Amino acid sequence: MSYHPYALTFPAAEFGLRSDDFENGGPLPTACYNTDAGADRSPALAWSGLPEGTRSLVITAFDADAPIPGGLWHWAVKDVPAAMASIEGGAGSGGGAGLPVGAVTLTNDLGQAAYSGVAPPPGTGIHRLFVCVTALSVDRLEIPHGASLAMLNILMIPHTVGRAVIIGTSQAPA
């Protein structure tokens, strides 16, 4: 049985999410890897049909199959304005220059305030990167400085009005 990190989350309205970089359930492009051949580039994302009352968005990327307890958070961005309908590939680079004004990149599990590309260790099979856009009913999600990404997820609960998830796969290079 494969672990699905969003199976137990609080219910929320679904909306559309897609990427021009990969098909849902398909392989991530090499550019999204943190390897010699990769570019450590966050995928392009586009969403539609946000639920009524959406005021901001949170974008996360989580490898549920990382060979460590609890998986690995590759990316988290909060306070993306609801008026946005997409972000370009590479927007998750350090400093967040490709993100909209006001968006805040949080520190991921690798200690970076950026998108950290996938890099599955050899012998660990196919990994699933769950890319999630969560619609919130607040303009800004207040989070204590230095809070964990678990705290981000907890603080989103009372403000979540919608959620969209797509999955990209990765594996160690041959």
Separation of alpha carbons 22 and 32, rounded Å: 10
What does the domain layout of the chain look like in residue ranges? Answer: 13-170
Q: With beta carbons less than 8 A apart as the criterion, state whether 44 and 98 touch.
A: no
Cβ atoms within 10 Å of 16's Cβ, excluding its own: 12
> Given this model, what pLDDT does residue 3 score?
79
Separation of alpha carbons 149 and 22, rounded Å: 25
Q: What is the mean pLDDT of residues 79-94?
A: 95
* Topology (CATH level 3) of domain 13-170: Phosphatidylethanolamine-binding Protein (3.90.280)
How would residue 1 be classed by pLDDT, with cut points 50, 70 and 90? Answer: very low
Which tens digits make up the pLDDT trace of 13-41?
999 999 999 999 999 999 999 999 999 99
Alpha helix (H) residue ranges in the chain: 149-156
- pTM beyond 0.85: the answer is yes
